[in-house]
């Protein structure tokens, strides 16, 4: 639960910051790193890696910016 609460406060602002930098490569690296990092953290806390990756995806999607930029990239 603390992971989600901390993520809701920290991750969207980190994603917005990486979007403001203007480089799509930085956004991809930040989002991928967050997903892997949260998945490993969830596994360390006794949850599955898939659940951690899902939570990371939800938290990244909360920023709103990532979805808009992903649509521009595709």
The model's pLDDT over 4-45, given as tens digits with 9 standing for 90+, comes to 677 777 877 788 888 888 777 888 888 888 888 888 888 898
Q: How many CA atoms lie within 13 A of 59 on its CB side?
A: 29
pTM as predicted: 0.71
Domain assignments of the chain as residue spans, ordered by start: 2-6+22-73
Query: Which DSSP string do the residues of 8-55 spell out, in sequence order?
Result: HHHHHHHHHHHHHT--HHHHHHHHHHHHHHHHHHHHHTTS-HHHHHHH
43 with 53: CB under 8 angstroms?
no
CB atoms near residue 74 (< 10 Å):
5
């Amino acid at each position: 639960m603390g992971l989600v609460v901390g993520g809701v406060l920290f991750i969207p602002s980190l994603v917005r910051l990486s979007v403001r930098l203007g480089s799509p490569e930085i956004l991809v690296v930040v989002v991928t790193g967050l997903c892997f990092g949260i998945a490993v953290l969830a596994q360390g806390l006794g949850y599955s890696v898939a659940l951690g990756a899902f939570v990371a995806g939800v938290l990244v999607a909360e920023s709103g910016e990532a979805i808009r930029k992903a649509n521009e990239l595709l």
